[in-house]
Amino acid sequence: MCIFLWLSAGDCPAQSVTKKKAQNYKKSPTRANPPPACLPYKIRRVRVALCLCMEEMKDTALLVIDMQRDFVEADGALPVAGAAATVGEIARCAAEMRRRGATVVHVVRAHHPSGSDAETFRRRLFESGGGYCVEGTRGAEIVDGLAPCPDDVVVRKTRFSGFFRTELDEVLRSRGIARVVVAGTQYPNCIRATAVDALARDYRVEVATDCCSAASEAVAVANVADMRLMGIRCEPWRRLSEFCAEPIA
């Protein structure tokens, strides 16, 4: 996707560009209908830079972690305070990432009804037919507003990290991903574990702070501080997207 910049006729130093010509080009930007020759070199270069910026995010993946009914909705099995409030921001972030050519990966919990594949300290929650994010149940569904698009990827996990015994690393490598942006819930468990494991695998890791949640603000602040000390950039997603134009070292 490219963004085209236009000068008015009065701004053109070489020749007059009529409003009709500009409108025609905007409707049909083809080789047979090139941009006006009078566009200054700097303006043409800006247009090319913007095109390259869009292409650059093909090396980026947005990892949306555990945004499932059991974690997000108030009547879920293990609701996280603040998770529901991030749904809209995550949706906007994902839409922009897709527009710029990034890969969106939904990393979700999917447990056996017995809970035998869950962390040992949580297996008691599965007694008497309980549990959380049991595969095939309503609680395991991704919440409304964040349903995967046709080109998105869904990776199922059973532990905190999205990389533990999953195909996530293989999926990212096969798509040439070098940078991951992490969003979802919650900070001290799945966000942090996934971010640290991505760092250990030499991905460039960034956490979208306005797209993540925790049980309390204090927990969120403490985990963000720790991840920043590890070299993980933690900022609102609109600040992170500025990196689309940076080459990956």
% of the chain residues with pLDDT over 90: 72
Q: Are residues 209 and 236 in contact, defined by beta-carbon separation less than 8 angstroms?
A: yes
Give the pair of three-digit tokens for residue 84: 């529901």
Look at the alpha carbons of 152, 155, 159, 161 in this order and tell me if their dihedral is positive or negative: negative
Q: Are residues 213 and 83 in contact, defined by beta-carbon separation less than 8 angstroms?
A: yes
pLDDT in tens, 166-211: 999 999 999 999 999 999 999 999 999 999 999 999 999 999 999 9
Rounded CA gap, 190 and 107, in Å?
10
Report the CATH fold assignment for 57-245: Rossmann fold (3.40.50)
Task: Please give the pLDDT value at position 82.
Answer: 94
Task: Please give the pLDDT value at position 129.
Answer: 83
Task: Please give the pLDDT value at position 54.
Answer: 52
Supply φ then ψ for residue 213, to 5 degrees.
Answer: -145, 165
Domain boundaries, the chain: 9-54, 57-245
- 10 Cβ contact partners less than 8 Å away, ≥ 6 residues apart: none
The neighbour count for residue 17, using CB atoms within 10 Å, is 21
Rounded CA gap, 97 and 231, in Å?
22
Rounded CA gap, 202 and 81, in Å?
31
For residues 151 and 247, which has the higher predicted lDDT (pLDDT)?
A: 151
pLDDT score of 18 more than 60 = no
Q: Are residues 188 and 223 in contact, defined by beta-carbon separation less than 8 angstroms?
A: yes
Mean per-residue pLDDT for 105-121? Answer: 96
Supply φ then ψ for residue 73, to 5 degrees.
Answer: -80, 145
- 228 Cβ contact partners less than 8 Å away, ≥ 6 residues apart: 234
